[in-house]
A and B are shown apart, each in its own frame.
Chain A
Amino acid sequence: MKAAIVVFPGTNRERDMAAALEKAAGHNSKPDLIWHGETELKGYDLIVVPGGFSYGDYLRCGAMAGNSPILRSIKEQAERGVTVLGVCNGFQILTETGLLPGVLMRNAGLKFICKMTHIRCERRVAPFTGAMAEGQVSRVAVAHNEGNYFADEDTLNRLEGDDRVLFRYCDDRGNVSDKTNLNGSQRNIAGILNEKGNVLGMMPHPENAIDPIAGGVDGLPLFESLAKAVMERA
């Protein structure tokens, strides 16, 4: 699997992401860390936009990165069908750049949330959740100040109608309610797909749940799904 992880000034999860991908895809598949100044991103099976505070999150989270030249290249690759994953700040960037609908607003409680939570996999879809079961509950960390997913009613209905809501915040048994909605997201949305199904944005950090001694291993199936899907295609 040839994977690229894009690094902006202020990105801080790129190493965790690289470790997760390597663990799932094997040690001969070290991802390339691509500095944001590059404008060409060709020949990759997977492009990851990791978490952090790109460009200091100035103006709006992800706004500066979303309009940077490297994002134009990512957009082109996504349109060609390359798999793209955006986590946390990466999700914010993908919405700002228009690859995913909606926007991540300030958490409803106005506080930065850094804690373990549960998410429910809503659907098995080849590149991202192929190694998971529908309804599978994962225990993963969130760490964000702007994770409150917002889109207008039409967009939300379209997302639901097309089965593009991939993860929702839930409790340890998979129940989705207002009580399990930690940041105020519309319809408990934690992760969504684009129309084609090759771009996923999610707020929680599966890359920080890949080792039993640190946070558990519930994040691994997502990376195993990616590795498997990409290898099958190759």
Chain B
Amino acid sequence: MKANVTVTLKRGVLDPQGKAIGHALEGLGFDGIGEVRQGKLIEVELDETDRAAAEKKLDEMCRKLLANTVIEDYRIEIVA
């Protein structure tokens, strides 16, 4: 089983990198740009056939290591 874990900064946590990306896009002439926030994508392959069990395992991984829940949110998506 394969999963994508997306980790992003929580709403309300200032994201200076996202802001800089937004400014750069405006500098390139793209107009109508609202807030830009950046995060990271972690692809995980799992030796697991049960979807619920996989999601549970991934959730634990996120809380223990993949995300720092003080400032980050995470989203788990089983893709294959």
Contacts and interface: CB of A to CB of B under 8 A. Distances in A.
| A and B: bona fide binding partners | yes
B66 A59 contact: yes
Interface string A126-160: 00000000000000000000000011100000000
A59 B70 CA distance: 15
Interface string B48-80: 000000000000000011101011000000000
A64 to B, nearest CB: 8
B74 to A, nearest CB: 12
Interface in A176-213: 184
A9 B70 CA distance: 26
Nearest to B9: A105
A45 to B, nearest CB: 30
B40 to A, nearest CB: 8
Given A63-B65, A67-B65, A150-B13, A110 B20 contact: yes
A168 interface: no
B52 to A, nearest CB: 25
A96 B16 contact: no
A63 B70 contact: no
Given A59-B65, A67-B65, A102-B70, A108 B14 contact: yes
Nearest to A107: B16
A102 B69 CA distance: 10
B11 to A, nearest CB: 12
For the residues of B in contact with A, the DSSP-based class is helix
Contact of A108 (B16, B66, B68, B71): B16
B17 A150 contact: no
Contacts of A63: 65, 68
Nearest to B10: A152
Interface in A95-122: 95-96, 101-103, 105-106, 108-110
A209 to B, nearest CB: 29
28 contacts: A59-B65, A59-B66, A60-B68, A63-B65, A63-B68, A67-B64, A67-B65, A95-B70, A96-B68, A102-B70, A103-B71, A105-B13, A105-B71, A106-B16, A106-B17, A108-B14, A108-B16, A109-B16, A110-B16, A110-B17, A110-B20, A150-B13, A150-B70, A150-B71, A151-B70, A152-B70, A184-B14, A184-B16
